[in-house]
Amino acid sequence: MSFQFVKGALVAVALVLLSSTPARAADYASYPDGSVLIDASKNQRWLIQGGAKFSIPSTEWSYFNNLLFTYFVSSSTIDGITSVPRDGTTLQSRGDVSIYVVIGGWAWGIPDMNELEHFGGTSNVRIIPSSFNYWSLDTAQNGTMVRERSGDPVYVLFGYTKFWLPTSADVEYYGGWGSVKVIPNGSAASMSDIPQCGTRLRERSSGVLYRINDLGQKYVIQNPSSYEWANHYVVPDGTLARFPDGAAVSCIG
């Protein structure tokens, strides 16, 4: 097995959500990694890696052909398996050169062999179908705190972007130092600095609720509804200043 690593600007990419029932909570598979699940009713096959499911296109059935761990299952069994691997799962698409580690529902680029050794080494890399599209959908888990392996800055993730936590008090507010997860060196810079359009945010000491528009600008939500109050994220004081004020522009797509 040969490996090559993410070059240039490291890319933190998102994992695709494959379930046809996204509103339903899904669990890690009870089948071992490397298992192939066959849904005969839909003529579909799925690979299990990191406890998650990956769709296998028919063109790759012969490659992912595990005679020891092949199971015929129902569609409901497939629907009940998550598409987000466990933290610490390292992934490489078949035929691709890049390797990523999943931390907090996000795939962080691993830059070199030295860094890979800190995340389990080559023997820990899980091969997935070449058709897997890391860019299809973001699944970063809101409220996850991360820091680079050799770095001091700690960030909290909300709306598919990171917010710096400047003080220990901020870290404690979001769960404490024991909740901070380690990501590869250099990978934090590759995450977008602009939240997903529609993300609702307010600073810890403020009662003003903002929404991010499609231009990466913030605007005040006038007379927020109970739904908006129940579906917003609290970020460290002062961090919203980096987003310019804008108009209530609708999200595209």
If one counts every other C-beta atom within 10 angstroms of the C-beta of residue 187, the result is: 26
Q: Is residue 24 situated within a structural domain? A: no
> Quick check: is 154 in a domain?
yes
pLDDT digits (tens, 9 = 90+) for 142-161: 999 999 999 999 999 999 89
SS (H, E, C) 92-133: EECCCCCCEEEECCEEEECCCHHHHHCCCCHHHEEEECCCCC
Residue 215 counted as domain residue: yes
Name the band, by pLDDT with cuts 50, 70 and 90, for residue 85. Answer: very high
The residue range of the domain holding 223 is 200-242
Q: Is residue 214 part of a domain?
A: yes
Residue 97 lies in a domain: no
Q: Are residue 151 and residue 185 in the same domain, yes or no?
A: yes
168 domain-assigned: yes
Supply the Cα-derived Rg of the chain in whole angstroms: 20
pLDDT in tens, 184-201: 999 998 888 899 999 999
pLDDT at residue 3 above 90?
no
pLDDT at residue 227, rounded to an integer? 92
Token duo for residue 2: 């040969």
Does 76 map to a domain? no
91 within a domain of the structure (yes/no): no
Total count of domains within the chain: 2
- Which of 17-21, 66-70, 167-171 has the highest average model confidence (pLDDT)? 167-171
Contacts of 227 (CB under 8 A, 6+ apart): none
- In a shared domain, residues 181 and 209: no
